[in-house]
Amino acid sequence: MRKGVFFGENDQMIQFKELFAGYRGEKLDALMGNQIINWGRSDGFNPTNNITPNDYFFLSSNPDDQKESNFMLRLKYRFIPAIELDLIAIPFYASSNYRYDLFEMGENVNFGAEIIPPKELNNSTLAARLNFEFPAAGWSVSYFNGFDPYHGFDVQSVDWTSGMPLLTNVSTPYRKTTLGADVAIPLGNWIFRAEAAYNTTKNPDSNMFIPLSDVGYVAAIETNIAGVTLIGQYIGKYTPDFFDLPLPVLSNPMDPMAQFQYANQMIDYENRLFNRKIFYQQEKTNHAVSLTLSKSFGYDAWNAELTNYYNFTSNEMILRPKLSWKITDALTSAIGVNYMQGDSKSLFGYSSKVMNGGFLELKVTF
Amino acid sequence: MKTKTFIAIFLSIISTGSFSQTAKEISKKSIDAIDVGNIEMISTINIRDAKGNKRVRQITTASKQFGGVTKMLIRFIAPADVKGTSILVYDYENESDNMWIYLPALRKVRRVVSSEKGKSFMGSEFTNADMSKPNTEDFDYNIIGTEMYEGKSCWKIETTSKTEAIANENGFKKRISYTDKSNYVSYKVEYYDAEGKLRRIQTLSNYKKQPNGKYFAYYMSMESVQSGRKSEMIIDKLQSGSQLPESAFAPTALEK
Q: Is residue A12 part of a domain?
A: no
Q: Is residue A13 part of a domain?
A: no
Confidence class for position A138, pLDDT limits 50, 70, 90: very high
ipTM: 0.86
Confidence class for position A243, pLDDT limits 50, 70, 90: very high
| Alpha-carbon gap: A191 to the closest alpha carbon of chain B (Å) | 7
Closest chain B residue to A183, measured at CA = B111
For residue B2, pLDDT over 80 is answered with no
Count: domains in chain A? 1
For residue B5, pLDDT over 90 is answered with no
Higher per-residue pLDDT: B97 or A42: A42
**pLDDT, position B1:** 45
For residue B82, pLDDT over 60 is answered with yes
Q: State whether residue B128 is helix, strand or coil.
A: helix
Q: Is A224 on the interface with B (CB under 8 A)?
A: yes
CATH classification at residue A134: 2.40.160
Q: State whether residue B104 is helix, strand or coil.
A: coil
Q: Is residue A227 part of a domain?
A: yes
**pLDDT, position B121:** 85
Task: Find residues 122-141 of chain B whose CB sits inside 8 Å of chain A.
Answer: 122-125
pLDDT tens-digit map of A43-62: 999 999 999 999 998 888 88
For residues A41 and A47, give the distance between their C-alpha atoms in angstroms, rounded to a whole number.
10
Higher per-residue pLDDT: A236 or B78: A236
The residues spanned by each domain of chain B are: 24-255
Candidate from B80, B119, B229 with C-beta closest to A365? B80
| Residue range of the domain that includes A164 | 22-364
For every residue of A136-167, DSSP letters joined together read: S-EEEEEEEEEE-SS-EEEEEEEE-TTSS-EE
Closest chain A residue to B81, measured at CA = A365
For residue A360, pLDDT over 80 is answered with yes
For residue B15, pLDDT over 50 is answered with no
Subunit contact B81:A332, Cβ cutoff 8 A: yes
Q: Is residue A5 part of a domain?
A: no
Q: For residues A101 and B218, is the Cβ–Cβ distance under 8 A? A: no
Q: Is residue A128 part of a domain?
A: yes
For residue B120, pLDDT over 80 is answered with yes
- Tell me how far the alpha carbon of residue A295 is from its chain's centroid: 26
Measured over the CA atoms of residue A130, residue A184, residue B101 and residue B90, the dihedral's sign is positive
Cis status of the peptide bond prior to A246, with omega within 30 of 0:
no
Q: Is residue A125 part of a domain?
A: yes
Candidate from B107, B245, B256 with C-beta closest to A24? B256
**pLDDT, position A272:** 96
Q: What percent of chain B shows pLDDT beyond 90?
A: 46
Q: Is residue A181 part of a domain?
A: yes
Q: For residues A179 and A198, is the Cβ–Cβ distance under 8 A? A: yes
Q: Taking residues B168-182, what's their average pLDDT? A: 91
CATH 1.10.3720.10 assigned to domain B24-255? The reply is no
Which residue, A326, A322, A325, is CA-closest to A358?
A322
